[in-house]
Amino acid sequence: MKVLITGAFGNIGLSALEELLKAGHEVTCFDLPTKANLRVYRKLKGRVRVVWGDLRKLEDVLVAVENQDVVVHLAFIIPKISRTGIDCNEKPKIAEEVNVGGTSKLLQAMRMQPVPPRIIFTSSLYVYGDTHYLPPPRRVEDPPRPVEHYSRHKLACEEMVKNSGLTWSIFRLAAALPISLRLDPGMFDVPLWNRMEFVHTKDVGLAIARGVSSEEIWGKILHIGGGPSCQLYYREILEGVLGSLGIAPLPESAFTEEPFATDWLDSSESQRILNFQTRTFADYIRDMHKAFGFRRYLIKAFSPIVRQYLLSRSPYYRLKRQGKAWEGKVALVTGASRGIGRAIALKLAQAGLKVVLVSRSEEALDSLKEEIQRKGGQAFSFPCDLTKEEERIRLFLWVEEKFQGVDVLINNAGFGWYGYLKDMSWDLTKEMIELNATCPVHLIKLFLPGMRNRSRGYVINISSIASEIPSQGVAIYAATKSFLSTLSSALHRELKGWVTVSSIKLGAVDTEFFEHSPGEANLIIPGKVFPLSPEKVAFKVWELLNRPRREIYFPRWLRVIPVLEFTFGWLFDALGPALLRRQIPRSARSSKTP
């Protein structure tokens, strides 16, 4: 039988490939031509047909799908570690293009064949969401409740597959841990008491290989788990792996307290049909030892150092140790309804601070407040328009009455506009100056006396690298951020020993900042390539609170920008107008001032 595997050189793909070849099938692999994938292909050369391509390109997929009997669709961008280098939850738009858009292209290509092939789509138990308040196991008929981008993408693809008109089967996989030496940063995102069903990646490959030849799987959703002997708690899995390497158990404080979307599964139906459960968790440990080789003995010899290194990689361990000093303190975050402000509010609430959420959008603030409270934090929403002086005073009086002041003030609210200054209305110009510059000054003036009287207080102003390199197209925005940076530095020196004032100068951040800019008008906005995630910015703000400095650049390499501006400012002067003209469409260039 001719079988196509998408994402063939990944964790599950290689196991499926091995079992399909053992069963005598003719296999075509479809994947990206990365260095890692090319290395794997060289080992398999002559045994498989390979089509290198992008799942998002119909022409590539058509070449791969031609004359196939069955398609095993594995290719997907996942959270945390991905061979593409993309994190599904940090880059949801790109991930959706690949995961949902790519699956749509694949189904389209399959329907275009004279004899459409069948499809096995590998989904995940993540689609059930948090189910730890329910008795196990999870059954196929349980309602899906996806809680993040990856599981939403999986569920969307399931629906597309079921409605495609093709012959299909959906495999919802349990936790198929990779046999790898890489440290997954997500290992700390699961509480130790979390239920988790393990399934050996080779058993998943066996299930896929037997499913290809089965007539009983089609039109069914099947659970692919390790079975009752592999229904464990995360503590058992982690301590089994680390303990076999001589590393003492990690403390519970190194792990999140939020439930993770894994559970035990009822896989009796799939086991009856496919008879694939041949390996246990002990087999996985033995395979891990083989992968480590002689390095296993080095790890055992230096196990205290390795353990300390692992703890250093846990954001929760650092957070809980640092957070004790912050429990019960009050933080006010402006622009908290989305993007950077939202991420900062979540981080501070997680650390035990009472967070006052400020923004125009009452609905968005209430949603964020509910999310924080659901996670055990304390949040208070105060919708108001910070461009109005009377609203800022109303906010101050409310906070003073309720909390007798704030301990932390995060001046984050602001917006940008890109284009010629002549095309920017005066009302919009005044609004930007009011929100980006006047508002932070006024809030600092209002809350500063209370902070100074208590001899404690922290002000962090969210600035931008635009303050250091005033560029064409962002004249007013750059000016307001330059003002904010200068104000921060001056107050840091003026209030030293009483109140700490800091600024963080950011590069491009992956938010809706410019999407909501009235001046975008189909412009090619600079700085959208490789943007920072709001969560990374929030963590940097948390670090700045615990290790105060006058100013920081994030990412660090931005520190070279002032030097470049000083050295090559003449070049920017010469090229600036030309670059801006190239980015503004001809129709926009000829438009008149509103």
CA nearest neighbour of 221 among 266, 181, 261, 255: 266
Contact 58, 109 (CB under 8 A): yes
Quick one: CA torsion of 195, 199, 204, 210, rounded to 10 degrees? -100
As a whole number of angstroms, the distance between CA 42 and CA 161 comes to: 33
Cβ atoms 579, 525 nearer than 8 A: no
* Cβ neighbours around 236 below 10 Å, total: 15
Give the chain's end-to-end CA distance (angstroms, integer).
65
Q: How many CB atoms lie within 10 A of CB 102?
A: 23
Q: Residue 586, class by beta-carbon neighbours within 10 Å (0-12 exposed, 13-18 middle, 19+ buried)? A: exposed
Three-class SS state of 500? strand
H/E stretch holding 122? strand 118-124
Active-site annotation, residues: 477
d(CA 125, CA 172): 6
- How far is Cα 31 from Cα 115, in angstroms, rounded to an integer? 23
Sheet with 221-224, strands from edge to edge, namely: 49-52, 26-31, 2-6, 70-73, 118-124, 168-173, 221-224
- Give Cβ neighbours of residue 201 (< 8 Å, ≥ 6 apart): 11, 12, 15, 176, 177, 178, 179
- Other beta carbons less than 10 A from residue 469's beta carbon: 18
CA dihedral 36, 40, 43, 49 (to 10 degrees): -130
- Is residue 425 within 8 A of residue 593, CB to CB? The reply is yes
List, in order, residues 6 or more apart from 217 with CB less than 8 Å away.
Answer: 120, 169, 211, 273, 274
CA atoms within 13 A on the CB side of 91: 19
Picking from 490, 481, 383, the residue whose alpha carbon sits closest to that of residue 433 is: 481
- How is residue 166 annotated by DSSP? S
CA R_g for the chain: 27
